[in-house]
Structure 1
């Protein structure tokens, strides 16, 4: 062949190959940005674990769960009647610690950025869990440890090849089995979702340092169902037993007659039915074969000996650590109310055109950082909208963005604990403190004030003695009410209600992450504490499915709602809280 022709043919082939390869490269690039599509409607396949997934496991059946004794203790006292008597529990959603084991149909939709058209999140809807669960895929950071918890938690996802891996935190206390086996607010759930048309494989791993000795791995299989529609689920709590609104059905330790029911029914050794990581491995089979099942049902009187049931005692034996106040953080709660955490007890501030209303002042050493946080909030507020007329300023932007130092008008103390009132004097003596006229500067219940009179400064100069007290005027366009919580933590506790923002500041009456610090010598009592928690629940309204709505700022811990307080109250009214603090 003529060399010239050969070279022309070669060049032509290379050119054609280049043209052919261009869409391949483009497709490869596009494929990297477009992970496997999980959208659609899915139906759960009910072919295993029928008892667990349909009517629910028998009481005391903890097989296959790596529980510690703290989890067994909670589950042993559980009475399922609680779900009927508690309006807050009747509409409780199933969270990621259990949801894939439920029987709900599921729909997955995309959230797409309208500009870039990139996938931002998956929205997952379940039949009996109205409200979409968001799984964020855009790399956003996790919220603060003080941010609100929810039934679904905060979920982020990344694709590992064709598998979506989801990490969920910020969960409320919930359950991992419907017979009372709990999951804690410290739980993390890792999920892997894989598409094998027409099946969707959903593996979920619960990591819970409070109740599990090792990760719990389970799975579920869904099948695509193109005709499935998710019906409405308007769950409405009802009072089925008049007068039982505050009743907490439960069994005292050693008095639950049903804990041996499953062991008798299935003829299995009780040691296996009680669960635990050691019973989950093949090596335990030889041990279990040598154990006899119970001949008849009886009221088991278990002992709880592992370290999980002695956390409070071990913590009390540790040397006391001095608190540090380096990580003070401000979070928006609702309306014009913010929570400042990390300065001792939680602090609430309402910031607006009238200045700053402050609830508690934190610990004295944290005052400088506290005031800096208030200044920062004031500078980040959006300027007021200008009227529909010509501006009177020569430079409108500068005039509307030149923020003055926030003026603190009043401090309201919820109690007299040093980590809540220690900063009173420092705030009062700061350049930011500008009370209105000669009116109230620091306000508290009379009994809280009486214990603070020995202090040289920062003592409340105004008090109230009634069950309820309303401040004499609106501040920042809302009414502010104080409610006395007698004989709760002390005899002088107050809760503060910002009516328009729908935020309640609870003080130490409610702490989302610690036992109530009841001080009997200062008039506190467990019965008074439970009554105070009942009042907080009565003042609150949930948005939907027992969460959201009225926000509650605890004395310590994260932003909460009525379901958190109701769960805390229920827990306090049971054996655990009474045994710990009485």
Structure 2
């Protein structure tokens, strides 16, 4: 392993020793990968031959049919045995297409094996850019190496894209900077199912990746766009959290983001430092519901503070 970034780069002229690389790897990213290696995959069958799989990083949508399986996000590669079994149980069709909602490892680490299995990978151009180079995520204290050639999206787009597969009309729409600078939504029109990636975390505080263009205002704008695209009976698939959601729950998520942004923004305007703002507990009214996962109240406050 050789990763570049920060003090390690300065101390080693750009290369990490195996010991340094191992020490860096034992952080949040590796803990998530370790969990994915043993986590079971839960399958939720929705409608119009669309299902959602939970347990390999982000929530994965699967459309089956004679044109082959289409996946929205590919999970973490170490969960390939469990994910492969879950996919096989959905039908005998080959894997034909994979859409990445953004570049993060818990959504795109499975790209290489899914491509080898037959998937053509589709993503926003910024997702392709981040997967193609060394990428530092400061808030994870982690350096991601360039993905193998087979994991790089073969088809990229700048704004919107559409597909017609297995009788489904599929619309891919770019949000602009939100969770990252490459987030897209995927709408299955006839089924009225909307996968919104990590612009929505159902029942938990979200991560915002400022290292690759994310922002709290962008997350709110993406929520507004998703609400505009959804109807009262639309099934909404979030990137994380309970994998089957709806417009009412998404509205609650959006309102939480706005309230906390305003609370943190007011404290920052008063001259409060980041640590003072965390100590003031601007998320307190929401912590019981939203603050019980990886992004705890203090972490989320620091993320919001960076963007207001």
User: Which residue of structure 1 lines up, in the alignment, with residue 131 of structure 2?
Assistant: 452
Provide the TM-score with structure 2 as the length reference.
0.69
C-alpha separation in 2, matches of 1:418 and 1:529: 19
Question: Which residue does the alignment assign to 1:329?
Answer: 42
Superposed CA deviations along residues 274-331 of structure 1, whole A, max 9, x for unmatched, are xxxxxxxxxxxxxxxxxxxxxxxxxxxxxxxxxxxxxxxxxx99x9664234311111
Which residue of 256, 277, 300 corresponds with 1:571? 256
Give the Cα–Cα distance (whole angstroms) in 1 for the partners of residues 95 and 263 of structure 2.
40
2:62 corresponding residue in structure 1: 349
Alpha-carbon distance, 1:368 to partner: 2.0
Pairing 1:43-442 to 2, within 5 Å after superposition:
322-324=34-36, 325-378=38-91, 405-430=92-117, 433=118, 441-442=120-121
Tell me if structure 2 keeps the 8 A contact 1:328–1:373: yes
CA deviations on 1:378-404 (whole Å, 9 max, x unpaired) are: 1xxxxxxxxxxxxxxxxxxxxxxxxxx
**Counterparts in 2 of 1:461 and 1:578: CA distance versus 1, 3 Å:** farther
Give, in whole Å, the separation in 1 of the partners of 2:41 and 2:260.
35
* Superposition deviation, residue 470 in structure 1: 1.3
Structure 2: distance between partners of 1:483 and 1:530: 16
Q: Which of these two proteins has the greater Rg computed from alpha carbons? A: 1
Equivalent residue for 1:560, pick from 245, 268, 272? 245
The CA deviation at 1:334 is 2.3
Q: Separation in 1 of the partners of 2:259 and 2:236?
A: 22
C-alpha distance after superposition, 1:518-553 (max 9, x if no partner): 1112111111110000011100110xxxxxx10011
**Partner residue, 2:179:** 489
Structure having the higher helix fraction is 2
* Partner of residue 461, structure 1: 154
1: distance between equivalents of 2:63 and 2:49?
5
Match of 1:528 among 218, 224, 231: 218
SS at match of 2:46: strand
Per-residue Cα deviation, 1:356-377 (whole angstroms, up to 9, x for no partner): 1111100010112112101101
TM-score scaled by structure 1?
0.37
Structure 2 Cα separation of the partners of residues 578 and 455 of structure 1: 39
Consecutive unaligned residues in structure 1, runs of 5 or more: 1-315, 379-404, 436-440, 543-548
Answer yes or no: is the 8 Å Cα contact 1:550–1:562 preserved in 2.
yes
Q: Is residue 526–residue 578 contact of structure 1 (8 Å, CA) maintained in 2?
A: no
Whether the aligned pair in 2 keeps the contact of 1:486 and 1:493 (CA below 8 Å) is: yes
**What is the CA deviation profile of residues 238-289 of structure 1, one whole-angstrom value per residue up to 9, with x for unaligned ones?**
xxxxxxxxxxxxxxxxxxxxxxxxxxxxxxxxxxxxxxxxxxxxxxxxxxxx
Count of aligned residue pairs for this structure pair? 223
RMSD over equivalenced CA pairs, Å: 2.0
Mapped to 1, the partners of 2:262 and 2:77 lie a distance apart of 31
- Partner SS for 1:504: strand
Q: Which runs of 5+ in 2 are unaligned?
A: 1-26, 133-145, 265-300
Q: Quote the Cα distance in structure 2 between the aligned partners of 1:513 and 1:445.
A: 27
Aligned counterparts of 1:576 and 1:452: Cα–Cα separation in 2: 30
How far 1:577 sits from its partner (Å)? 8.1
